[in-house]
Amino acid sequence: MKIKLLLTNVLLFASIILSAQNQPQKPQTKAQMNAQKLATTLYLIENFYVDTANTDKVTEDAIVAALKELDPHSAYISKKDVEKANEPLVGSFEGIGVTYQLIRDTITVISPTAGGPSEKVGIMTGDQFIKIDGEEAFGKKIDNEYVQKRLRGKKGTKVTVSVKRGNDPELLDFEIVRDKIPLNSINAAYMLDDHIGYIKLDRFAQESAQEFREAFAKLQAQGMESLIFDLRGNTGGYLNTAIELVDQFLTEDRLVVFTEGIHSPRQEWRSTPAGVYTSGKLVVLIDEGSASASEIFSGAMQDHDRGVVIGRRSFGKGLVQRPFNLPDGSQIRLTTSRYHTPSGRCIQRPYENGAEDYAKEMTKRLEHGEYFHADSIHFPDSLKYKTDGGRTVYGGGGIMPDIFIPVDTAYNSKLYTNLVRKGAINRFTTDYALKHRDEIKAEYDDFKNFNKTFEVGDNLVQGLKKAAEEAKVEWNDEQFAHSEKFILLQVKALIARNVWETQQYYEVMAKEDAGIKKALEILGSEKEYKRILKGK
């Protein structure tokens, strides 16, 4: 029977080929020939290959390999991953609304989302989820995928959790109705002093412009006259969001960005009269982690002499991806054009030497000393461009800041790296905050008092040493001495985050942040601020 079926398939395939050859046809385009070639290959594998072949996987692997040959940012996203890939930028997901950590194989609530489903039913910080829908939810089987699969779900659906709270031996049962949970893209917005505000944007998401306007209005009401806009580590997001945010800082009819590609004619975007902050002093913080939309923003500010850019050379991602949906619900994000700043600079760094060489760019920057010395970066004269005011800026990949800030060498100790990599510092500070939350709040009254007076004493250092030992991190006194100031500040900041909110982490860390310190210095001197923007 199998042989008869195989012969039938062979004859059918042969007759299709012969029939096609005998029919007068228009000459095929290259694209049509290649499509036919791929379709024929899959047909042959499915019908004549010696073993059973997973043609779905073969097809996906072929697409991934093809896109890899084009550029570093064209990508294939499987059907099951499309929603997950879009989630951080869409700005919300559906679930129960808790920030959690897996502490000793147990789901521990760090904080319920304000106004979210969990807070509404009474879930509290420090609660441990022991059962989910009657099933034990602790132990080695628990990972982030397990948690998200069981706690996330469609709005309106229900999940039951059994919670251990404090030392109470009885579990508390809660029925939680899932709802839409907002994902804020602004991590922090507060006043650094009486006149200078600070906003930290994590990504350029769907609602980021509205979040910015709300944060800006809040700071303006507190007396803000100058702004530090922090885009360090911001890997980008939506082009439209970047344009809308640039629009908040420019007067009407200024070029924001333009894109071009072989199949995509030049397209320009210009500012509107909608800007809320078009003349006040501005500093933009960037680093090697600032990419794409972050570079559109910082490039526009620099080219129009609108603000001072401080930090290190940005990532250099200036390729525009357009999503194309495939028949099975999967998606190709295909590069269709390049971003250019208002002066004409191409943001994208070179990738002609292949994906592997491209991926090593940050390592090469480290080896060349770029993270520590501005003069290790050389730009050819052929890539010179001019800002509105006549300052010289360079293309060739990424945005070079007006003022260079080297990497803090306190990051460089092996001890600090291992404390972070193995989760010791995070587990220790989370445990400490959960145990001492009430007494910290009672002793310091509010965060401002905590930030002014709380000190990481020897008892906490000994606790961190013990956590390092449990995580199999070798403690080195010499390395600790090198990174001590930074490690102790991290401990304090993480405790603040776990007792209050994420913003408080940034407020603590700002004290020793070289970029913020330099920004405060520049903004504090009208003469110096103007001198930098005039390129003198």
DSSP per position, 330-398 = -EEEEEEEEEE-TT--B-PPP-TT-HHHHHTHHHHHHHHTTTT-GGG----GGGEEE-TTS-EEE-SSS
CA pair distance 207, 209, nearest whole angstrom = 6
Is there a single domain that holds both residue 258 and residue 171? no
Q: Are residues 199 and 285 in the same domain?
A: yes
Q: What is the spatial distance between Cα 290 and Cα 302, in angstroms, rounded to a whole number? A: 15
Q: Look at residue 490 and tell me whether its pLDDT is greater than 90.
A: yes
517 located within any domain: no
Longest dimension (CA), the chain: 90
- Pair (134, 276) in one structural domain: no
Q: How confident is the model at residue 273 (pLDDT cuts 50, 70, 90)?
A: very high
Please check whether residues 339 and 202 belong to one and the same domain: yes
Q: Which of 214, 277, 201, 224 is nearest to 246 (CA)?
A: 277
The model's pTM: 0.83
pLDDT confidence band for 19 (50 / 70 / 90): low
Going by DSSP bridges, is the β-strand pair 403-404/308-311 parallel, antiparallel, or unpaired? parallel
Boundary (domain end) residue, out of 182, 198, 231: 182
Whether residue 200 is found in the same domain as residue 320: yes
Query: Which amino acid, one-letter code, is at 183?
Result: L
Task: Please list, in sequence order, all residues whose beta carbon lies within 8 angstroms of the beta carbon of residue 359, skipping any fewer than 6 positions away.
Answer: 72
Is 54 part of any domain?
no
CATH of the domain at 112: 2.30.42.10
Q: Which residues pair with 102 in a beta bridge?
A: 107
User: Quick one: pLDDT at residue 426?
Assistant: 84
What confidence tier does 501 reach under pLDDT thresholds 50, 70, 90? confident
User: pLDDT tens for residues 357-380?
Assistant: 888 888 888 888 888 887 777 777
**Coil, strand or helix at 116:** coil
Indicate if 204 and 320 belong to the same structural domain: yes
* Model pLDDT, residue 200: 97
Task: Examine the domain organization and report whether 237 and 365 are in the same domain.
Answer: yes
User: What percentage of the chain carries pLDDT values higher than 70?
Assistant: 93
Crossing angle for the helix pair 293-303 and 239-247, to the nearest 10 degrees: 30
253 and 203 co-located in one domain: yes
Q: Which of 182, 214, 231 is the last residue of a domain?
A: 182
- 436 within a domain of the structure (yes/no): yes
Confirm if 339 and 346 have CB atoms less than 8 A apart. yes
**Cα 391–396–402 angle (5° rounding)?**
35
DSSP state of 383: G
More confident residue, 536 or 268: 268
**What mean pLDDT is predicted for residues 392-420?**
88
Domain identity same for 403 and 416: no
| Cα angle: 472, vertex 473, 478; to 5 degrees | 150
- Host domain of residue 290: 186-407
Q: Is residue 510 part of a domain?
A: no
- The pLDDT of residue 92 is 60
- Region 212-223: mean pLDDT is 97
* Residue 400 sits in the same domain as residue 418: no
Q: Indicate whether 434 and 357 sit together in one domain.
A: no
Note whether residue 444 is domain-resident: yes
pLDDT of 13 strictly over 60: no
Phi, psi (degrees; rounded to nearest 5) at 150: -95, -25
DSSP annotation string for 412-436: G-HHHHHHHHTTHHHHHHHHHHHHH
> Is 525 among the domain residues?
no
- Is the pLDDT reported for residue 4 higher than 60? no
Q: What is the pLDDT of residue 509?
A: 95
* Total Cβ atoms within 10 A of residue 27: 6
| Torsion angle in degrees (nearest 10) through CA of 67, 69, 70, 75 | 30
Tell me, what's the pLDDT at 505?
93
Among 110-119, 261-270, 332-341, the range scoring the smallest mean pLDDT is 110-119
Boundary (domain end) residue, out of 182, 209, 241: 182
- CATH number where 366 lies: 3.90.226.10
360 and 261 belong to one structural domain? yes
If one counts the domains in the chain, the total is 3
Q: Domain for residue 216, yes or no?
A: yes
Q: Is residue 3 part of a domain?
A: no
